[in-house]
Structure 1
Amino acid sequence: MSCIRFNTPAQREQMRRLAPSQLTPEQVAELHPAPPVTESKIRRLRLLATNDNPKIREAVASSYNTPADLFEKLASDPDAGVRACVARNEATPCDVLRALVDDPDEQVRGFLAINYYVPQDAMARLREDASQTVRSLVRWKTELAAESELAAV
């Protein structure tokens, strides 16, 4: 017996009509508030940022609550995965993102290219990156932004 379900056009239309409307990020945040950031949490992040395991340092680099000085430290981490997490984190300070433009790892620069919070001067440099992949990601993000602007009009 198959678990695949084939719906008729009428059933699909009814499901579309009855589907809940999409919530905005603000509405989601109201429904699911984040716990407050405490000094204890910041101390834990500082401790975890020094862990020998790069996956644990990646978790710190991915946190929106990571302090700016830790982002600076993690941006020069020997592990490219940690630096990639810094590059894609929307909470990373602009100066740290600018510094990652010269990262030797293509994946780090690729994640940087798709981060919407990268300053325009850094994006201009990524547009001229030696890597075809990075240049393609910059083009893709630019096209997405243009499509979003057209859809908003």
Structure 2
Amino acid sequence: MSCIRFNTPAQREQMRRLAPSQLTAEEIAELHPAPPVTESKIRRLRLLAANPNPKIREAVASSYHAPVDLFEKLASDPDDGVRACVARNEATPCDVLRSLVDDPNEQVRGFLAINYYVPDDAMERLREDSSGTVRSLVRWKTELAAENAAELENA
């Protein structure tokens, strides 16, 4: 399972416009429905979240089905990669995303800056981040959202 999935809705819309012959995410989901989330799957996620291998914990941090307590636990994981996966996961609860604003790792804060679901108060704090890279990502995401809003108004 890969942790790399951080396209915003505006980016996905732009990709759809540039490649109209491709199926949308919704059409793909209809053709290939995900199996139901069961208690067994949640138990496996809990076991995997405690694995000593950080790559396995990254897979849990990337899951859309992890329960809130696992996101909270993984947000304080000693491995930067695990916290980065929590930061970029669109299913991560807002309070957990807020807790990562002061993360010591620039990459974690960078992935947080481009997560579409980060609350406004957290984005404001990231706008003043000590890292130029994080501030640039916040500006880029803000400009992209403004462009998307303007396109929707003109449509």
Q: TM-score range by the shorter chain?
A: 0.7 to 0.9
Question: Are residues 1:64 and 2:67 paired?
Answer: no
> Where does residue 93 of structure 1 map in the other structure?
93
> Where does residue 143 of structure 1 map in the other structure?
143
User: C-alpha offsets along residues 102-130 of structure 1, whole Å, 9 cap, x if unaligned?
Assistant: 10000000000000000000000000000
> Where does residue 103 of structure 1 map in the other structure?
103
> Where does residue 77 of structure 2 map in the other structure?
77
Runs of 4+ displaced beyond 6 Å: none
SS in 2 for 1:60: helix
User: C-alpha offsets along residues 62-82 of structure 1, whole Å, 9 cap, x if unaligned?
Assistant: 010111000000000000000
Q: How does 1:3-42 map to 2 (within 5 A)?
A: 21-42=21-42
Shift of 1:31: 1.3
Shift of 1:20: 6.2
Question: Are residues 1:49 and 2:53 paired?
Answer: no
- The CA RMSD over aligned residues, in Å, is 1.2
Q: What TM-score comes out, normalization by structure 1 length?
A: 0.85
**Partner Cα distance (1:29, 1:80) in 2:** 31
Distance 1:145 1:20, change over 3 A: closer
**Partner Cα distance (2:130, 2:37) in 1:** 40
Q: How many residues are treated as equivalent by the alignment?
A: 135
**Partner Cα distance (2:148, 2:81) in 1:** 30
**Partner Cα distance (1:87, 1:20) in 2:** 30
SS in 2 for 1:101: coil
Query: What amino acid is aligned across from residue 70 of structure 1 in structure 2?
Result: L
Unaligned runs of 5+ in 2: 1-18
Shift of 1:48: 0.3
Distance 1:149 1:20, change over 3 A: closer
Identity %: 84
Query: What amino acid is aligned across from residue 91 of structure 1 in structure 2?
Result: A
**Which structure carries more relative contact order (alpha carbon 8 Å, separation 6+)?**
2
Distance 1:41 1:113, change over 3 A: same
Query: What amino acid is aligned across from residue 147 of structure 2 in structure 1?
Result: E
Q: What TM-score comes out, normalization by structure 2 length?
A: 0.84
After the TM superposition, which of the residue ranges 24-33 and 133-142 deviates more from structure 2? 24-33
**Partner Cα distance (2:104, 2:29) in 1:** 37
Unaligned runs of 5+ in 1: 1-18
Question: Are residues 1:117 and 2:117 paired?
Answer: yes
